[in-house]
Structure 1
Amino acid sequence: MNAVDHLLAQARNNAWANRRLLVACAAVTEEQFTAPLGGFFGSLRATLNHILYVDWYYVDALEGGSLGPAAWRDEEPCKTAVDLQREQAAVDHRLIAFCEGLDDAVLGAPVRLIRAGGDRIERADRVLLHLFQHQIHHRGQAHGLLSAVGVEPPQLDEFFLNQDRDLRAEELDALGWREKDLWRAWPEPGA
């Protein structure tokens, strides 16, 4: 597997996991969604909004945009899980589209990160790796917060293995994806 295939798989896993998590969040009440539960951001809603606006920031930077810190001007731009699911799906789609266009030149290309204290320049591949790690980190926190409000959190690690294909089929269908298209660059074991 090369770096491009790996990063594209991570972008798809990200969209799948976000969808699965946000569908589960639709089962919580508004009171549970906004309850102060601890964690980095206090509530489930604040944690999920943090994932969203940081995605806006980095995806915009990868696309060559100039959104910068305006991405988090409103720390809770989405008030409901339904709104979050819609907005997160849109930025996830942009991230997948960006990763579908990757090649070695793009991976090593400079990305300008606009910060209040001055712009920073990073490589695209490192920005992507950081973004995926950030998403995983905070999805894990949201996962724990779902448990804290009494909602069974979904499995978020059933995307990559063949043995889990039946467990992810419903979400893949909802996303309009087919198993064979996701893994065409990766031969089956023993092939």
Structure 2
Amino acid sequence: MSPQRYFLAQAYNNAWANHRLLTACRKLSADDLAASRTSFFPSIIHTLNHILTVDWFYVSALEGRPMGYAAFDTEIPFQDFSDLEREQRAIDRRLIDHCRQIQTDELSRIVVIPRAHSEQRERTDRLLLHLFQHQIHHRGQVHAMLSGTPVAPPQLDEFFSVGEEALRRADFAELGFSETQIWG
């Protein structure tokens, strides 16, 4: 697998995992989304907003138009779940588009990320890996918090297994994804 295809597959998997998680969370009431829970962030809606704002922070930097800390001006920019879901899907598409266009020689390009008192300089490939890991980490927290709600947490621990294509077919149809887009 080429490096470009690897990062593109990661971006598609990230969007698919977000889709599965958001589909489950959409079934929750506003009270269940905002209820105090044990985790790094105190609620499901807070954690989902954090996933989104960190995506804004890093994807904008990867695109060469860093938002910097403006991404975090509002800690919970979307109390309304449908708005949050719409924005998460949009940033997932931007990340997919970025990874689709990236060339192998660009993976070593330095991305400048404005921090409060400095600039972080990170290779593109390392920043992408960091972003994917960050999202996995916080999706896992939401997954665990869902266990304390009336909605069962979705399965998130798969990575496009060939033998399980039928299990993701409906999700892919909703997302407009195809196996060919991901694997070529």
Which TM-score tier does this pair reach, normalised by the shorter chain?
A: over 0.9
Alignment of 1:75-86 (within 5 A): 75-86=75-86
Whichever residue aligns with residue 123 of structure 1, its letter is: R
Whichever residue aligns with residue 135 of structure 2, its letter is: Q
- Residue 27 of structure 2 corresponds to which residue in structure 1? 27
- Residue 116 of structure 1 corresponds to which residue in structure 2? 116
How far apart are 1:183 and its partner, in Å?
1.8
How far apart are 1:177 and its partner, in Å?
1.6
In 1, Cα distance between equivalents of 2:159 and 2:71: 29
Q: Which consecutive unaligned segments of at least 5 residues does structure 1 have?
A: 185-191
How far apart are 1:152 and its partner, in Å?
0.2
Q: Which consecutive unaligned segments of at least 5 residues does structure 2 have?
A: none
- Residue 171 of structure 1 corresponds to which residue in structure 2? 171
Aligned residues, how many? 184
TM-score, length-normalised on structure 1? 0.93
Whichever residue aligns with residue 135 of structure 1, its letter is: Q
For residues 2-22 of structure 1, the C-alpha deviation after alignment (integer angstroms, 9 at most, x for no partner) is: 221111000000111101110
- Residue 73 of structure 2 corresponds to which residue in structure 1? 73
Higher mean C-alpha displacement, 158-167 vs 5-14:
158-167
In 1, Cα distance between equivalents of 2:137 and 2:169: 24
Higher relative contact order (CA 8 A, sep 6+): 2
CA RMSD of aligned residues (A): 1.0
In 2, Cα distance between equivalents of 1:125 and 1:182: 18
CA contact (8 A) 1:60 1:66 kept: yes
In 2, Cα distance between equivalents of 1:142 and 1:150: 14
CA contact (8 A) 2:61 2:111 kept: yes
SS at match of 1:77: coil
Percent identity, aligned pairs only, is: 49
In 2, Cα distance between equivalents of 1:166 and 1:159: 13
SS at match of 2:177: coil
